[in-house]
Amino acid sequence: MPPESPMTLFLLRCTALLAALRDGPLARPDLLARLGDAYPRTASARPMVDRDVKHLAELGIVIEISRTRPPVYTLHGGTPAFDTADLRALALIRDTFGDRHPQSAQMHALLQRLTSQLGEVAQRTYQRRQARRAPVQPAVDYTPYDALIVRLDRAIDARQKLRFRYRSSEGRLTLHQQVEPYAIEFYDRHFYLVGYSHNSRQMHDFRIDRIQDDDSFAELERLPPAMAHTRPPLVFRYRLAATLAQGELSQRFEHQRVVERLPNGDVIIEAEGRSDFFIIQTLLRYRANAEQLHPPELRQRMADEVRRLAELYR
């Protein structure tokens, strides 16, 4: 999943919009200035604000926009009117953000403001735990890295190169002199900065809790408009056991397709992976039900990993 879903971004924008108007009406230029980085610092911010105003009106939160030039935005009081589906959706959002998510405090504070005036029956509906929840609970506590994530996100938006030290899984520190940041992604219960390092001249997934937010961290010059590096897809094939190949396949990789069905019911699957590490770690979760086939060098790396694992249990 992208580090931020559309619902998360909408909630963050609405939090900033309501906070900006809480102290009184604001003309559009003053409002956009007050909103800071919650909205793009481009002309697209104006229609985005107006769309969010309409969405908030559907929730019972009224922001009046005057017909003057420039228009003035005024927040009107009143408790949002939520039906049962709305309350369940809000509860689902609440149950999605685990306490180790870097923005859990912001999300829960916003939900508290939205639901603090609910009646007794509505509160019971909202407080009920949702069976369809899919918690986003990182493997480690990322709340101490919220400020760093904000800085990285701003650098991505500004296309600004970075310098930082990075601690590998072995504890080795490496100074990456220039990193072009492209995205923040969440997978395997960790947040990663996807960036191109001029040290290795390759794309990397930098685990954010291993980026050293110290004196070495610096924001450098901006990238030229047309300059961008991309990660070439790593195409590979693997065999999946018949017991797991029945029905719809789990979409653990991008662009998965069955290229061959074997007589015993096993299937040969071709897919794309983000890196050798990601492919190996994902296939290992299948245990003996998956076999990495191609390319040969990736199969050898898988064999080496399995051999090291077996040696631990001798």
**Mean pLDDT for the stretch of residues 100-105:** 87
78 pLDDT more than 70: no
**Predicted structure pTM score:** 0.63
Q: What is the largest CA-CA distance in the chain?
A: 79
Q: Could you tell me which residue, 233 or 298, shows the higher pLDDT? A: 298
57 pLDDT more than 70: yes
Vertex 154: Cα angle to 150 and 157 (nearest 5): 140
What pLDDT band is residue 169 in, cutting at 50, 70 and 90? confident
Structure tokens at 280: 């190996």
Question: How many Cβ atoms sit within 10 Å of the Cβ of residue 192?
Answer: 21
Residue 114 has what pLDDT?
85
The mean predicted confidence, pLDDT, of the chain is 89
What pLDDT band is residue 269 in, cutting at 50, 70 and 90? very high
Using a 10 angstrom Cβ sphere, with 0-12 exposed, 13-18 middle and 19 or more buried, the burial of residue 273 is: buried
**Mean pLDDT for the stretch of residues 25-51:** 92
Q: Which amino acid is at 118?
A: L
212 pLDDT more than 80: yes
What pLDDT band is residue 36 in, cutting at 50, 70 and 90? confident
Residue 120 has what pLDDT?
86
1 pLDDT more than 80: no
Of the chain, the percentage scoring pLDDT greater than 70 comes to 97
What one-character-per-residue DSSP string does 190-205 give? EEEEEEEETTTTEEEE
**Mean pLDDT for the stretch of residues 107-124:** 86
Vertex 284: Cα angle to 283 and 288 (nearest 5): 95
Domains of the chain: 6-76 (1.10.10), 84-127 (no CATH), 143-222 (2.30.30), 234-311 (3.30.70)
Alpha-carbon distance values, 137 to 6, 191, 204 (Å): 18, 11, 23
Residue 270 has what pLDDT?
95
Consecutive H or E run containing 207: strand 202-207
Counting Cα atoms < 13 Å in the Cβ hemisphere of 153 gives: 16
Residue 202 has what pLDDT?
86
Residues 86/59, Cβ–Cβ less than 8 Å: yes
Q: Could you tell me which residue, 81 or 124, shows the higher pLDDT? A: 124
Residue 228 has what pLDDT?
80
Name the least confident of 18-22, 98-102, 117-121, 289-293: 117-121
**Helices 104-115 & 6-21 angle (0-180, nearest 10):** 60
Given 3-state DSSP classes, what are the helix, strand and coil percentages for the chain, each rounded to the nearest 5?
40, 25, 35
Question: How many Cβ atoms sit within 10 Å of the Cβ of residue 278?
Answer: 16
165-178 burial, b for 16+ CB within 10 Å, e for fewer? Answer: bbeeeeeeeeebee
pLDDT tens, 214-234? 999 999 999 888 778 887 888
Task: Please list the residues that pair with 214 across neighbouring strands.
Answer: none
The distance in angstroms from the start CA to the end CA of the chain is 38
What pLDDT band is residue 118 in, cutting at 50, 70 and 90? confident
Residue 4 has what pLDDT?
60
3 pLDDT more than 60: no
**Mean pLDDT for the stretch of residues 245-268:** 88
Counting Cα atoms < 13 Å in the Cβ hemisphere of 160 gives: 14
Sign (positive/negative) of CA torsion 291, 296, 300, 301? negative
**Mean pLDDT for the stretch of residues 248-252:** 80
What pLDDT band is residue 80 in, cutting at 50, 70 and 90? low
Consecutive H or E run containing 76: strand 72-76
The length of the chain, given as a count of residues: 314
